[in-house]
Amino acid sequence: MLGDLSAITAPPSKLDIEQSVKIGCENLYHAAVHSFLHSKNLAEDLISLYKMTFFILQSVYFLKLNEYIPTKQELLKKLDGADKNILKTCINREDIKTKEISEIEYLYNQLIKWCAEKI
Residue 15 — very low, low, confident or very high, per pLDDT cuts 50/70/90?
very high
Q: What contacts 111, CB < 8 A, 6 or more positions away? A: 28, 32, 46, 49, 50, 53, 86, 89
Cα distances from 119 to residues 3, 40, 56, 59, in angstroms, run 34, 27, 12, 14
pLDDT tens for residues 47-99?
999 999 999 999 999 999 999 999 999 999 999 999 999 999 999 999 999 99
| 3 state SS of 24 | helix
Rounded percentage of the chain residues whose pLDDT exceeds 90: 88
Mean pLDDT of all residues in 17-29: 96
Mean pLDDT of all residues in 11-36: 95
Q: What contacts 90, CB < 8 A, 6 or more positions away? A: 50, 51, 53, 54, 72
